[in-house]
Amino acid sequence: MSVGDGDIPTALPPDQYAPRFSEVVNLVDDFGADPSGEHPIDAPLRQAWDNDRLIVLPEGEYKMNRPFRRTSTSNVGLIGQNALIRHGRVEAIEGHTVDQGEYTGSTMMFRIGTSTNPHGDLVFGGLIFDWGWHANAGMQGLNAFIDGEAEIRNIVFHGTHSLGSFANLRVATAEPDSVALVDSVDMRGGGLHYIDTINTREERRYDEGPEHPDFGQSWGSTGFTGHPDQQGTTVIRNMICGPWPDNTIYPRGGSGRKIVSGCIVWDGGGSQIRTNGGDDWEPVEWLDGTDNKDEALDGPYPGSVIEQCHVVIETNPDGVYINPRGILLQDGPQLVRDCEIEIAYAEGGGAGGTYGFGTRGEGGESPAGPAVVENSRITLYENANAIYVSPYTNSIEFHDIEINTVGWEAGLNRLVGGTGADQLENVIVNAP
């Protein structure tokens, strides 16, 4: 199995984005930012950030010693030309706050908007966040809550996130007509559980069962995260994501639409991709080809969609202490198509064990689904369920699915766990 191949560009052309703004500024030439990485750029960033302004960060190395937070402003861009950003030295951290070091404060380096005070339109990218410069490095590069349109792309997180706090990206949209595109992001280095770092946080245990470790789960150390209040549409495209202790690509939350497309994900704890659906979204012309909701519901993205993704569970890496799963579908309408899952490492069975596709409902008003999985392939090198269906599932159907067991034999009944699917149409095991 080969995963994580391919390079992500780390530049955005100013000429392409300039027409969207009334002013273009250079953070080095116009605001005195130091491109050598010796002096922090905190003050220049505060001075430069303003409505209807594109901020260009030339190629260089840039240091931040304080978190940067902005709400309410709108139509702001921060784009780099292979610009490398790192935080200052961290000497002590508890939870999500750095107490001692060059850098102090929240581990959200860029916090742009909140659920109660969202930011307007945003362009952000062309950046390299460097977690490899020090043994104790790694924060949340961007936490964005957007009312409007966001384009976040061409970002590489270099190295392994090793501070046990909030992980690389959290992006969500605030209103049904809001949309965020997160495109071409490389975080293959993954992250460590807080117990393997200098972080002194304490959390509740993931599970009280004897098979689980006696320390708490590293909540929030998740490659990509959504938000429980999100509405609108979030598109996650071409993301390369290595192992994290608490899920890997996790846009679940709220009642909006999530599109996960063309992503490569591997070896995380919990689910490699975990999402849900919802009806609080309006059509997006460039995605749906229409501004009519009825037409969009009949189009390629009638709700949350996972498509053309490659999921691999091959090893149990350092920093991962809960059983890995493939793709987990929770509440709301969802469609999965043209995906491939490979499992060569498996732990446990049932709802808490390793499986390819699964559902998890919360009971009551939040059952999983309805969902459809189609035109996909599961290859099992270890004894595991290809499919696991939670008792709290509205409905789930599987159409045109290929299941291969390598080095062991099993029939379809053995490969489908839980309560079983509502429909298995053209599901083939070990086709000749």
Question: Which of the 8 DSSP states describes residue 266?
Answer: E
Percent of the chain with pLDDT over 70: 96
What pLDDT, on a 0 to 100 scale, did the predictor assign at position 52?
99
- Per-residue pLDDT reduced to its tens digit, 89-138: 999 999 999 999 999 999 999 999 999 999 999 999 999 999 999 999 99
Give the E-state strand segments of 71-121 in sequence order.
76-87, 90-94, 97-101, 105-106, 108-112
- Per-residue pLDDT reduced to its tens digit, 167-209: 999 999 999 999 999 999 999 999 999 999 999 998 876 555 5
Length of the chain (residues): 432
Instruction: Supply the DSSP string of 170-196, one letter for each residue.
Output: EEEE-STT-EEEEEEEEETT-B--GGG
Q: Helical H runs in 49-147?
A: none
What single letter denotes the amino acid at residue 374?
E
Report pTM: 0.96
Q: Is the pLDDT of residue 310 over 60?
A: yes
Q: Is 329 strand, coil or helix? A: strand
Q: Give residue for tokens 């994580």.
A: 4
Question: Which of the 8 DSSP states describes residue 352?
Answer: G
First-last CA distance in the chain: 21
User: CA 291, CA 404: separation in Å to the nearest integer?
Assistant: 41
What pLDDT, on a 0 to 100 scale, did the predictor assign at position 140?
99
Q: Which two structure tokens, joined as six digits, stand for 359? A: 């559902």
User: Is residue 136 within 8 Å of 165, Cβ to Cβ?
Assistant: no
Alpha-carbon dihedral 421, 409, 321, 309, rounded to 10 degrees:
-60
- Per-residue pLDDT reduced to its tens digit, 42-71: 999 999 999 999 999 999 999 999 999 999
Q: Is the pLDDT of residue 3 over 80?
A: no
Angle at alpha carbon of residue 333, lines to 332 and 336, rounded to 5°: 120
